[in-house]
Copies of this chain bind each other. A is one copy, B any other.
Amino acid sequence: MALAEFELIREHFQRAGTRADVVLGVGDDCALLTVPAGMQLAVSLDLLVSGVHFLPDVAPEALGWKALAVNLSDLAAMGAEPAWVTLGLTLPAADAGWLAAFCRGFYALAAEHGVELVGGDTTRGPLAIAVQVHGFVAPGAALTRAGARPGDLICVSGTPGFAALGLARCLGRTELPEPLAATALERLERPQPRVALGRALRGLATACIDVSDGLAQDLGHILEASGVGASVEVERVPRPPLADADAALQAALAGGDDYELCFTLPPGRLPGLAAAAAAGGCACSVIGRIEAAPGLRLRRADGSLLPLARGGYEHFG
């Protein structure tokens, strides 16, 4: 790196910090940080590559928001408190206007969650973003994927499927009436990480994951990590209000990029769910039950099984 790049970084990313636990932020070989005494550090690194995770013509402000949102969603899924973020930006060219817009989106969401950018790297290359969040959680309080037990209820926040519709529309694969189209695009481009809900689920949920690759697939990760199976009652799965009922269900079960939380809790804790949903600012729906028999069964109202379509987004293969 040389002068032009250092100045770009300085201009756009070297802002005055607000967190007392950042001893040294952007600008040295490392950031120096203080984790609160007795707390565990939760970290997650995500990659976003142009043409894979976002459309090449996406507005940079939306991209800045989304890059942080998908990463904060991992902290939400662990029930961790967001604290710091590092950012790696690979750009085909140094475009001050693009950077300014990207920063608007990125910092707007960071401010909402009190997250401080503490370091990173910028380089020339095909447009791609690496983001790592760092958060805190008390020992034993984190929501992992491995705690679901037979009998637990399966829940999902919000309404998964909108983002998949938004993407289908951007790709010209579907037409959507307003205001559905606007909602779908907003969910695709500006997902709201369920940080407050994750926080409220500590001590309540036995397992949790964020729905980035599709509800059925991400629930599958809980089942695998917990060594259990599940039945989902498909008519209880919240879905976008599409005229085509099959397409709506398919979007809700297999559509990625919504960043809702899918979690499990014992029936005895169900009374706490309403308070958690209120604290999280979103509806939470019970959609099924954990079972001992391995595998995921999607049950229709008449008891018949819906074939499990190959869902989720596959990067390879």
Contacts and interface: CB of A to CB of B under 8 A. Distances in A.
A25 B202 CA distance: 20
Interface in A286-317: 310, 312-317
A126 interface: yes
Interface stretch (A73-81, A108-116, A162-170, A177-185): A73-81
Interface in A80-113: 80, 84, 86-91, 93-94
Contact of A41 (B3, B32, B46, B123): B32
Report how many copies the assembly holds.
2
B45 A88 contact: yes
Interface of A: 1-5, 8, 23-24, 27-35, 37, 40-47, 49-53, 74-75, 77-78, 80, 84, 86-91, 93-94, 118-126, 128, 130, 132, 134-135, 137, 139, 142, 144-146, 208-210, 213, 217, 225, 310, 312-317
Contacts of A146: 28
Contact of A121 (B45, B77, B122): B45
Given A315-B2, A316-B4, A32 B124 contact: no
Residue in A49, A93, A139, A315 with the greatest tally of chain B CB atoms within 10 Å: A315
Nearest to A213: B1
13 contacts: A2-B317, A5-B316, A24-B144, A29-B145, A31-B42, A34-B40, A35-B35, A47-B130, A49-B90, A49-B124, A53-B123, A88-B130, A93-B316
